[in-house]
Amino acid sequence: MKYYKVKFINSYEVNEGCTSVSLSSKDYFYKSELPLKKQDIYSITTDQTYSNPVMIIDVYNKVESTHPIKTIVEAIDITSNKVKKPVLEKPIIYINDNKGTVACKWADGTTTKAKTSEDDAINFNPEMGIALCYLKHFIPNVSQTQLNKAIFNAETVDSSKK
């Protein structure tokens, strides 16, 4: 995880190969697993998409802040128009068939767990448990119950009948 000091761009213009940029006066800090480069300009998405792009002013391994630091989940490099997305990390996966549980230990030291309901223990599906662990890891503050409802209540369409 890297920490990025950014400034929002008020205006941005490219004229005959020269770039003119007007930056905000205030510095903002974000964190991300994305490989963003100093001095590059990105359109970023955290838990919201910002209308103004940002310029990366500096990159840090650690930042002390009294305010919560939002995570950049997607960044589009304005100059190359390439989307930067996170590379899925490979956790250490623990599966307990007897208890119907899956636990994933991530590189950042956190662990996410998924457990089948007691009513459905006979239909334990480790792949579903791993998928739920990934979702719980990458979507903070969501419960397994919320994920289960979203998955099992989703509208399905039989595409073979079209």
Flag whether 21 is in a domain.
Answer: yes
> Looking at the predicted structure, is the pLDDT value of residue 128 above 60?
yes
69 with 107, same domain: the answer is no
pTM score, whole prediction: 0.49
Flag whether 158 is in a domain.
Answer: no
Nearest alpha-carbon partner for 6 in 18, 81, 129, 46:
46
99 with 79, same domain: the answer is no
pLDDT confidence of 4, banded at 50, 70, 90?
Answer: very high
Q: What is the pLDDT of residue 64?
A: 85
Tokens of residue 54, six digits: 């940002």
Of 11-15, 46-50, 58-62, 136-140, the range with the lowest mean pLDDT is: 11-15
Identify the domain boundary among 56, 84, 112: 84
Tokens of residue 154, six digits: 């989703």
> Looking at the predicted structure, is the pLDDT value of residue 154 above 60?
yes
Length of the chain in terms of residues written: 162
Cβ atoms of 1 and 29 within 8 Å: the answer is no
Please give the residue range of the domain that contains residue 99.
92-153
pLDDT confidence of 117, banded at 50, 70, 90?
Answer: confident
Q: What is the pLDDT of residue 58?
A: 93
Helix (H/G/I), strand (E/B), else coil: 152: helix
Q: What is the pLDDT of residue 83?
A: 64
